[in-house]
């Protein structure tokens, strides 16, 4: 099982600096892919920001959203986030040395609660903390 964070999902559906790497990884991946329902809100937020700042058009936003919904329906298992997971994320965030922000700590807590062994992320701080907590990185 590979826990996938929003940075990977955005790069998979939009033209980002690491999109080619993510596309190759996704095409070769045969593992079960999981993420917290939180990624839906985070993905939508990324699309909205990119459209508002002129990085993508409304049509590109809608196309990316439709592809994302197909991914969620076919290849990505979305997990509900339990209150205990939010608490675990809060505890992770309280440790200032981790550098974790709320959204990333929620992804990390969800991955740990799902007992994922691997994480796919493009976020350096999240990757560092995933490794610290004994998760293997699926993307390098």
pLDDT at 74 > cutoff 80: yes
Q: Say how far apart CA 134 and CA 114 lie, in whole Å.
A: 14
The CA-CA-CA angle for residues 72, 25, 14, to 5°, reads: 60
Answer whether CATH 3.30.230.70 is correct for domain 2-137.
Answer: no
Q: What is the pLDDT of residues 92-105, one digit of tens each?
A: 999 999 999 999 99
- Domain extents for the chain? 2-137
Quickly state the pLDDT bin for 139 (edges 50, 70, 90): confident
Provide the β-strand partners of residue 34: 3, 77
Query: Is the Cα dihedral 46, 49, 70, 72 positive or negative?
Result: positive
What's the pLDDT at 70? 97
Provide the β-strand partners of residue 118: 2, 136
pLDDT at 78 > cutoff 90: yes
Q: Rg (Cα) of the chain, in Å, rounded?
A: 15
């Amino acid at each position: 099982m590979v826990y996938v964070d929003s940075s990977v999902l955005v790069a998979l559906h939009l033209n980002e600096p690491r999109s080619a790497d993510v596309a190759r990884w996704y095409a070769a991946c045969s593992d079960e892919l999981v993420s917290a329902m939180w990624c839906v809100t985070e993905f939508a937020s990324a699309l909205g920001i990119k459209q508002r700042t002129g990085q993508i058009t409304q049509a590109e936003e809608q196309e990316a959203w439709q592809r994302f919904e197909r991914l969620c329906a076919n290849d990505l298992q979305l997990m509900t986030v339990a209150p205990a997971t939010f608490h675990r994320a809060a505890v992770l965030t309280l440790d200032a040395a981790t550098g974790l922000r709320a959204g990333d700590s929620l992804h990390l807590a969800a991955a740990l609660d799902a007992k994922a062994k691997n994480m796919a992320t493009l976020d350096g701080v999240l990757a560092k903390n995933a490794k610290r907590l004994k998760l293997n990185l699926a993307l390098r």
